[in-house]
């Protein structure tokens, strides 16, 4: 299958690596806005303009949410255009042949993404285009899940909770450790166990701590220990939410 990849950001780079490593995928051109035209070290045609594209089976957009409609509008009307965003509806793509390829992962600079087993949310305007998306997922070694735009935006919200918000809690914990001359690494086994527990317990059943046991003395003590207003707010609302949920 011939593919055009558009976008040179974090996700674009990972998709570039994934596509060039997969023998079933022929990456024809890679569009990177800030790049000089030429060839990548892997011999792929590198361009900086969507108006010089060769026809391919699929145009994969790894651009910012805001840029998706504009970039799609610049592509041929008959092209099969696929975006990669969790929170953007399928219908922002004006082409009749349009789809979504949403990799449920966080992508960081300098980290090589392992596509194997990675869940990819798939959607297409026309069901006859799904097999091509499934073939792409398979070529990358990932796992395909069909979902509509409503499910995908909810999944994106859930991803924000378990990744962005969880990471913020890690950042707050790291600050507490550093302010008290404690290595953040002390918390690693606890963090790992918090995740490992999910294999055999639902998170609701796994809930422990002062909030769920209504240990008001510890809760009030923690609130006096916290200096920063924003962390105090988090402590209060999450404690109440835990107590409401159980």
Residues in Cβ contact with 40 at an 8 Å cutoff, skipping those fewer than 6 apart: 16, 30, 46
CB of 124 to a second copy, least distance (A): 18
CB of 97 to a second copy, least distance (A): 26
Cβ-based nearer residue to a second copy, 75 or 211:
211
Cβ-based nearer residue to a second copy, 17 or 194:
194
For 149, the 3-state DSSP assignment is: helix
Cβ-based nearer residue to a second copy, 96 or 178:
178
Place of tokens 């929170």: 87
CB of 72 to a second copy, least distance (A): 17
CB of 4 to a second copy, least distance (A): 26
A 10 A CB-CB count for 105 gives: 16
CB of 28 to a second copy, least distance (A): 29
CB of 24 to a second copy, least distance (A): 22
**188 Cα distance to chain centroid:** 23
Residues in Cβ contact with 76 at an 8 Å cutoff, skipping those fewer than 6 apart: 55
Question: CA–CA separation, 33 vs 18, rounded Å?
Answer: 20
User: Whose CA is closest to 174, among 163, 161, 162, 188?
Assistant: 188
Residues in Cβ contact with 242 at an 8 Å cutoff, skipping those fewer than 6 apart: 207, 209, 211, 212
Cβ-based nearer residue to a second copy, 78 or 199:
199
Question: CA–CA separation, 205 vs 174, rounded Å?
Answer: 27
**14 Cα distance to chain centroid:** 12
């Amino acid at each position: 299958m011939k593919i055009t990849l558009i976008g040179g950001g974090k996700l674009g780079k990972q998709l570039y690596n994934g596509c060039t490593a997969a023998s079933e995928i022929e990456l024809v051109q890679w569009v990177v806005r800030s790049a000089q035209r030429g060839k990548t070290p892997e011999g792929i045609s590198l361009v900086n303009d969507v108006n010089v594209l060769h026809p391919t089976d699929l145009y994969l957009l790894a651009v910012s949410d805001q840029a998706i409609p504009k970039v799609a509008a610049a592509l041929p009307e008959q092209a099969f255009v696929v975006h990669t965003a969790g929170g953007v509806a399928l219908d922002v793509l004006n082409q009749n042949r349009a789809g979504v390829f949403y990799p449920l992962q966080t992508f960081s600079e300098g980290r090589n993404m392992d596509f194997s087993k990675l869940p990819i949310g798939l959607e297409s305007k026309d069901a006859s285009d799904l097999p091509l998306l499934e073939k792409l997922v398979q070529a990358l070694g990932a796992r395909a899940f069909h979902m509509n735009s409503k499910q995908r935006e909810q999944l994106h919200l859930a991803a924000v909770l378990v990744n962005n918000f969880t990471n913020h809690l890690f950042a707050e914990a790291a600050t507490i450790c550093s302010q008290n001359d404690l290595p953040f690494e002390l918390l690693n086994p606890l963090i790992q166990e918090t995740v490992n527990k999910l294999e055999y317990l639902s998170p609701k059943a796994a809930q422990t701590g002062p909030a769920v046991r209504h240990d008001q003395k510890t809760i009030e003590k923690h609130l006096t220990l916290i200096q920063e207003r924003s962390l105090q707010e988090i402590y209060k609302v999450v404690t109440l939410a835990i107590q409401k949920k159980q």
